[in-house]
Structure 1
Amino acid sequence: MTHRDADFRHQLGKFRLESLSSPPVPPPASPPSSYLLPPHLPASVTTNSTPVRSKRVSTACDFCRKRKKKCDFRYPNCSACTRAGVRCTIPPPGPQVANASVPRDQLENLQNRVRWLEEVVRHKTGIPVADRPTGSPLEGEGDPDWWYQVPGLMMTRDTTAAAAAAAASRPSTTGPTSVPPASSSPSTSSPSGVGPDLPNVGEIFRDQLEHRRPSIARPITSAPRVLRLASLEEADRVTAQYFDSMGYQYPFLQRTEFRTQLQSIYAGESVPPETHYTYHITIAIALLIGSADGIQATEFYRASQETLPLALQNEDLAAVRALLSLALYTMFATSGPSVWHVLGTALRLSMSLGLHKARTTASLVEEELAKRAFWSLYNLDRLIASTLGRPLGLADEDISVTLPREFNDDWTEAPGTSAMTIPVQVARLRRIFSRIYRYLYNNQPPPPPAEVAVTLRHFRQELDDWRRLAPVYPPALLYSTSYYDYLFATTLLLMYRPSPRNPTPDAFSIVSCGDASVQVTRSYWDSYSVGKLKWIWLTLSQIYFAGITILWCLHQNLRAIQEGQAPVWQPDDQTMRRAIQAVVVLLEEFGKRRPGVERLAETFRQQTTMIFSHLAYTPEVQQSQPPSTPAQSQPHVLVAPPVPLAPVLDDVLLVDGSGNVPVMDPQLAEQLFYSYDWFQEEMATFYTL
């Protein structure tokens, strides 16, 4: 870089000024002395004098200039002004800019670059901008997505400039190298077609990000369509179903705030678009939870989509909450966008807002609502990722924000006895759950069995401590205790079942798998018995996972018997058989409500028949072995009461009556293990997750 180029870059600040259509002309061998001097100095200064550098133009805002700090140029406020709470202003162009000396060749390069960029805009959008005044509005003209084609244009554009640059770099004895015509052959250009004369695409896109549209009040151009239930009392009853179930798991909406908004809507008052969206989508979720008419829920969902774009207009907490509500709806409905994509968008938005970082705000309420939104998102991300066998959206090491405080609806803090007691406790479990998932379900080579056993013992101690110390919420005593038990059992199932880094669990893991699976099955059967089972794909996956894990444990017993050993898992026979039948019944009921599940139920029946048939033909082996307890017995093994089902299984689950033992597939255990991956892919494909 010549001294002259360095001066000019200082004057122009952060913008890059290389030529796009012609290479820079090298300086003459003996430049005149006045060429390097500011215009206010006399020309009589000799060439032996030290050149005077032009003063660098400051592009910092007034606040950063006064503090003599570096400005990050963010729009509309830089980071320093945002932290200080002052308005970010910049000085008007001063005489030092107007009077700065600019080399002629750089001006020519700038003009060539402007002409080339104007041609790019005209070619990609069809908008002739050469004759348009600078700053003219162009909204609604041409192709709105042309900007994102710039990188492709960079890689495929004509390589003439690169050839010219190569030619210019060759030695010349006749003086400065002239620029070759546009028709010159590009035979000497670089193979990639990308030369040093290309613009800095990173700076282009960074400039777009730094000049994003600022957060503004969402306009209400026309009164949005509002659907109402029969009365405000009916709306209160329906939304109470939401807050008494989903509100305990994902508390990103506050009940009292929503109640106030509900009253405004039913009174016919004007409310912001995000309030309209939250009202409609929450009613839609509540109707689905209450097993109400799906048509009415769909109507409320469609009404919510009319105001969703305005609810997502700004990058703020309201947009995060809107995406969370949309994710909850897609979990319960058979239509709507992919919950995986919605959660990914919500996570990236929350990280751009810094919700995962510890920070303080001027308002305690604002700070707590932000925490509730983030930890609701965290809970959903862990649940969906583990169910679909996909990576977590955010690493725990990157999270520094604390858990929400346990405030009541009136913002009085009551640890252990507030409405936030349950979600805070669930978030604590999800953090343990997350570390278990990351340790066992990845593509790293399996660690030594001894290391796995030690690590699982540590995890088990954390889980036992969590369940023992978990406080309950008296107004929802039954809900909190049963929900804690269910979460505890599903976490044990995730930890002890065959996994990529622990494909051959030990005896204690087999026992824990079997008992946890029976507990999970019983939880779902209890909900089904009272008509409160949620017929969603998450429920289907947990039921199927519990069922095939029971079969896997029974297969481990069968292998032990065939090797002349005692069965590893020794549950109550009636309890185990009823759990198997519960899975069969629930899968069949799912098949009546969700297409495609009937094939899954039939596959599970066939696997069960095979297992039980072989177990029925080995009674003498079982009787010859004394009962024994696994060597690694631990004190906190789940023992579930019997599920209230028929006393015995259907005959189809035992021997077919022909006297012949069905052929046992030698790879059955491996099939059961890979059923997890198969079913995850099946669900993701069928339900467009």
Structure 2
Amino acid sequence: MNTPESSPSVDAMNDQSQSGPAPPKRIRLSLACNQCRKRKVRCDAQTPKCRNCVLRGDNCETSDPRRPDGPAVRKWATKDGMFPGEQRANRASSISERSASGSMMSIQFDPAMSNASEATQQADQQQPSPGGKHVTWVTRAYMENARNQDTPSGDQVHDSPDVVVNVDESSHRVKYMGGSSLQCLCVFVDLYLGRKGQPPMSNRFRWGMQHVEEFNLPLSFHLPDLPPIPTLEPAIRAFFERIYPLFPVVEQATLMTDIVRLTELQSASVSGLQGAISHSDVATLAIIYSVISIGNDEHERGITDFGSSFLKGAYTLVGHLLSAPYLGSVQALLILAIALRGRGKEGQAWHLLGQAIRISHSLGLHRHISSQTGGDLPMGSSPGYRMNHELHSRLWWSCYALEKLMELETGRPPAISDNDCDQPLPRIDSQGTPDYFGMWASLARVLGQISEHLYRRKASSSYMLMQETSRLDQALLDWAKALPEGMKPGHEVFVDYDEQQPSYHQHIASFLSLHYYQAQITLFRASLIFPEKSYANEVKKHGTKLPHSLRLLQNQNICIGAARSIIKQVLELADHDIQSIIFTTTQPFLAAIVLALNILKNPQKRMGRSDMELVITGTEYTRDHYQRIGQHEEFIRAASELPEKLTAALEGITSPRERPSVTSQDIRTPPSAEASMSPGLMSMGIDPFSQAEAVFDPFQDLPLDEFWSMIGGDFVINGGNDQNTFF
């Protein structure tokens, strides 16, 4: 293969770029849908439903006349007549499978690539841009790993692994996930599994979409009456002891006063609470319902029917909250979003949180409002505004922290920009206990910067990527260093027998640690998915200009170590029966995927056996949690099959030759342990092949920066007699 410098196609490309862009070729569709083929009309092949079928109201299904019983392949063309990421020698595209059963499916597609001017390209380095000439580093890494003679068939190739859209057969049920999401990382696991003939994992995420994104409500619903205050006290106490330190958005004294008032109105009404409240009480009632739901689930350590009834009651009031967009509506929407997220309804939480942020913007919660005379508050402020001024700050930063966390997990663009807000971070008077809210909000700021600088902006070079990685890594280290003892990441969970000292800070400390490790994994993901040698060579090349080049060389090990720490920590929490709605499966499942990817890339490493055990226990924990929250069985099965796929993929990689013993004595594995181990990992012996051969990376020695420039623009690779065009 010719290098980019020696390829004659490069000169041709340069000549073409100097003379201006070539005229667009005629776009040709590869396969029309059944209805358009039947009517003999032109089909635009849009997914999930073509325009003709949308207008006629027909079911848009596509089948191949040459293979009536096989899956259909629908391809959409770019303006050069090719498909995104397609090679002319061997056409392969991402697909959208359509079956008569109406099953849901997952589509990967590439965002539109426009011919940007040089000024636009320079602007892309400074600000996010959905278009532009440069593709993201996630796509570059995937293409670098995929471009070899062992590339899987077209139905397993993803044009852009940093953009995933889950859809079903309708034209409206579409959900997007971005490059920092767990699903996009699974695409890289699919790449290695596909080379060993294993089916992909990422396309089965579609089965989890309905549970996450939807919340079923009856068409007519009666608001539940408030129970007696003694019955509510355990739930309210659990909320303020265990959730309020992270989300201090409502005061306990105010809440109890409102509960007493509404209970009295309820008792005086023949029809109960339904006929007693007025429109002005809606926000207050939604807050109370949501607090009861969260607190009861927190107190009972699981999802309860009692909590579900009040959660539904709060959700039925959402329309009323939006019709009166004031401070109470922001509080109610945010607490309701927290409740939904605790039940695995992250998609619903994202939508309600967005509404809360928009209302917050309209109220000016994102701004530090001061008077023109130098006072703390504007002139003419009412007593209520003065009393709630600190609440405004806490409410805004609670919205901010939750959105930045969910932005990192989903890869979706945020509603909050740091450039638009100057609200100072308040310090919570916690009477001698640590300032948990300040720690959490400070970490959330770093999470937001990771999303913005590494996933929403398109770095123009590998140097910019590594420079930003180093800067954000230092920000994470500074955050961890500033934490008090007992709160730093890596702390051990302990049994707390002191009844005078509440044990809630253990689950909060673990919450912060898990998201710190999640931030490290997301930050260092490039070192994990790029071939090791090319990444290391690139760091060394820029070593004198990078402030922490030695730590950059350790990024992959830090990423893997963070994954191990996550699984160990959640298992410790489970062993000590420390549960909370603030914990989700995102972190342990992410850790299992990272370790699985490391095992597939480096099956000969001695830590593979222990990592496989962590993958097994991590997926078991994930499976149990998904079952508790009622996730789709097909999605749970997909998550549970990860260890089996690893075992099948690793069969035959290792050889029966014995590896030199690590001690002077033989170390034997008990038969019971061998039964649950991968055969490839049990043997612990390998052929003398290089790491590049083990993971099928023939481009391991090619400098990463050459791939960067080669894939980032309109570069054409000379591949024999044919030309393989990338974007």
| Normalised TM-score (structure 2) | 0.49
Provide the C-alpha distance between the structure 2 equivalents of 1:291 and 1:647, rounded to a whole number of angstroms: 33
How far did residue 515 of structure 1 move?
0.7
Equivalent position of 1:479 in the other structure:
507
Structure 1 residue 382 and structure 2 residue 404: aligned?
yes
Equivalent position of 1:632 in the other structure:
none
Structure 1 gap segments, 5+ residues each: 1-223, 409-413, 562-566, 625-645, 671-689
The one of 483, 491, 497 equivalent to 1:470 is 483
Equivalent position of 2:555 in the other structure:
509
Provide the C-alpha distance between the structure 2 equivalents of 1:607 and 1:347, rounded to a whole number of angstroms: 42
When residues 555 and 336 of structure 1 are mapped into structure 2, their CA distance, relative to the original with a 3 A threshold, is closer
Contact 1:406 1:418 in 2 (8 A): no
Structure 1 residue 298 and structure 2 residue 308: aligned?
yes
Provide the C-alpha distance between the structure 1 equivalents of 2:626 and 2:316, rounded to a whole number of angstroms: 33
Provide the C-alpha distance between the structure 2 equivalents of 1:534 and 1:480, rounded to a whole number of angstroms: 9
Equivalent position of 1:156 in the other structure:
none
How far did residue 442 of structure 1 move?
2.8
Structure 1 residue 551 and structure 2 residue 596: aligned?
yes
When residues 327 and 620 of structure 1 are mapped into structure 2, their CA distance, relative to the original with a 3 A threshold, is same
Provide the C-alpha distance between the structure 1 equivalents of 2:528 and 2:656, rounded to a whole number of angstroms: 31
CA RMSD, Structure 1 to Structure 2 (Å)? 4.1
The one of 241, 244, 255 equivalent to 1:244 is 241
Provide the C-alpha distance between the structure 2 equivalents of 1:287 and 1:554, rounded to a whole number of angstroms: 41
In structure 2, the residue corresponding to 1:401 is in which secondary structure? coil
Contact 2:654 2:684 in 1 (8 A): no
Provide the C-alpha distance between the structure 2 equivalents of 1:615 and 1:256, rounded to a whole number of angstroms: 64
Structure 1 residue 366 and structure 2 residue 375: aligned?
no
| Higher RCO (CA-CA < 8 Å; seq separation 6+) | 2
In structure 1, the residue corresponding to 2:554 is in which secondary structure? helix
Structure 1 residue 438 and structure 2 residue 483: aligned?
no
The one of 624, 628, 637 equivalent to 1:589 is 624
Provide the C-alpha distance between the structure 1 equivalents of 2:601 and 2:529, rounded to a whole number of angstroms: 19
Equivalent position of 2:436 in the other structure:
422
Structure 1 residue 276 and structure 2 residue 285: aligned?
yes
Provide the C-alpha distance between the structure 1 equivalents of 2:698 and 2:243, rounded to a whole number of angstroms: 38
Q: Which amino acid aligns with 2:388?
A: E
Equivalent position of 1:228 in the other structure:
226
Structure 1 residue 407 and structure 2 residue 401: aligned?
no
How far did residue 439 of structure 1 move?
1.5
Contact 1:446 1:500 in 2 (8 A): no
Provide the C-alpha distance between the structure 1 equivalents of 2:262 and 2:641, rounded to a whole number of angstroms: 50
Equivalent position of 1:522 in the other structure:
568
How far did residue 306 of structure 1 move?
4.8
Contact 1:610 1:664 in 2 (8 A): no
In structure 2, the residue corresponding to 1:511 is in which secondary structure? helix
Contact 1:281 1:301 in 2 (8 A): yes
Q: Which amino acid aligns with 2:506?
A: L
Provide the C-alpha distance between the structure 2 equivalents of 1:501 and 1:256, rounded to a whole number of angstroms: 51
When residues 669 and 299 of structure 1 are mapped into structure 2, their CA distance, relative to the original with a 3 A threshold, is farther
Identity within the alignment, %: 18
Contact 1:323 1:343 in 2 (8 A): yes
Per-residue Cα deviation, 1:495-551 (whole angstroms, up to 9, x for no partner): 112389978655411101111001111222223334444689x72332221111112
How far did residue 667 of structure 1 move?
8.5
Provide the C-alpha distance between the structure 2 equivalents of 1:377 and 1:529, rounded to a whole number of angstroms: 32
Q: Which amino acid aligns with 1:393?
A: A
Equivalent position of 1:395 in the other structure:
417
Provide the C-alpha distance between the structure 2 equivalents of 1:533 and 1:647, rounded to a whole number of angstroms: 31
Equivalent position of 1:653 in the other structure:
678
Per-residue Cα deviation, 1:426-450 (whole angstroms, up to 9, x for no partner): 111111111112121136145224x
Equivalent position of 1:608 in the other structure:
646
Q: Which amino acid aligns with 1:385?
A: E
Report 1:15-30 matches (<5 A). Answer: none
Contact 1:535 1:590 in 2 (8 A): no
Contact 1:440 1:502 in 2 (8 A): no
The one of 243, 250, 253 equivalent to 1:253 is 250
Q: Which amino acid aligns with 2:644?
A: Q
Provide the C-alpha distance between the structure 2 equivalents of 1:503 and 1:322, rounded to a whole number of angstroms: 47
In structure 1, the residue corresponding to 2:456 is in which secondary structure? coil
Q: Which amino acid aligns with 2:407?
A: A
Report 1:180-199 matches (<5 A). Answer: none
Q: Which amino acid aligns with 2:643?
A: R
Provide the C-alpha distance between the structure 2 equivalents of 1:434 and 1:335, rounded to a whole number of angstroms: 21
In structure 1, the residue corresponding to 2:249 is in which secondary structure? coil
Provide the C-alpha distance between the structure 2 equivalents of 1:353 and 1:535, rounded to a whole number of angstroms: 29
How far did residue 312 of structure 1 move?
3.6
How far did residue 482 of structure 1 move?
2.6
Contact 1:612 1:654 in 2 (8 A): yes
Report 1:16-95 matches (<5 A). Answer: none
Provide the C-alpha distance between the structure 2 equivalents of 1:541 and 1:428, rounded to a whole number of angstroms: 21
How far did residue 665 of structure 1 move?
8.2
Equivalent position of 2:471 in the other structure:
458
Provide the C-alpha distance between the structure 1 equivalents of 2:330 and 2:456, rounded to a whole number of angstroms: 29
In structure 1, the residue corresponding to 2:244 is in which secondary structure? helix
Q: Which amino acid aligns with 2:293?
A: A
How far did residue 602 of structure 1 move?
4.3
Structure 1 residue 262 and structure 2 residue 290: aligned?
no
Contact 1:358 1:402 in 2 (8 A): yes
Aligned length in residues: 406
Structure 2 gap segments, 5+ residues each: 1-221, 267-275, 371-376, 488-500, 537-552, 663-670, 687-692, 701-727
Provide the C-alpha distance between the structure 1 equivalents of 2:585 and 2:301, rounded to a whole number of angstroms: 16
Provide the C-alpha distance between the structure 1 equivalents of 2:316 and 2:587, rounded to a whole number of angstroms: 34
Equivalent position of 2:521 in the other structure:
493
Equivalent position of 1:133 in the other structure:
none
In structure 2, the residue corresponding to 1:329 is in which secondary structure? helix
In structure 1, the residue corresponding to 2:368 is in which secondary structure? coil
In structure 1, the residue corresponding to 2:585 is in which secondary structure? helix
When residues 554 and 306 of structure 1 are mapped into structure 2, their CA distance, relative to the original with a 3 A threshold, is closer
Provide the C-alpha distance between the structure 2 equivalents of 1:392 and 1:438, rounded to a whole number of angstroms: 9
Q: Which amino acid aligns with 2:290?
A: I
In structure 1, the residue corresponding to 2:423 is in which secondary structure? coil
Provide the C-alpha distance between the structure 2 equivalents of 1:302 and 1:251, rounded to a whole number of angstroms: 23
Equivalent position of 1:598 in the other structure:
636
When residues 337 and 598 of structure 1 are mapped into structure 2, their CA distance, relative to the original with a 3 A threshold, is closer
Equivalent position of 2:335 in the other structure:
325
How far did residue 366 of structure 1 move?
1.0
Larger mean Cα displacement after TM superposition, 331-340 or 437-446: 331-340
In structure 2, the residue corresponding to 1:444 is in which secondary structure? coil
Provide the C-alpha distance between the structure 2 equivalents of 1:515 and 1:658, rounded to a whole number of angstroms: 24
Report 1:110-259 matches (<5 A). Answer: 225-229=223-227, 231-259=228-256
Equivalent position of 1:448 in the other structure:
462
In structure 1, the residue corresponding to 2:235 is in which secondary structure? helix
Structure 1 residue 285 and structure 2 residue 267: aligned?
no
Provide the C-alpha distance between the structure 2 equivalents of 1:442 and 1:622, rounded to a whole number of angstroms: 47
Contact 1:555 1:669 in 2 (8 A): no
Provide the C-alpha distance between the structure 2 equivalents of 1:652 and 1:584, rounded to a whole number of angstroms: 15
| Normalised TM-score (structure 1) | 0.52
* Greater Rg by CA: 1
Provide the C-alpha distance between the structure 1 equivalents of 2:557 and 2:519, rounded to a whole number of angstroms: 15
Per-residue Cα deviation, 1:547-597 (whole angstroms, up to 9, x for no partner): 111122233434xx5xxxxx5xx75x7753442221131233245442233
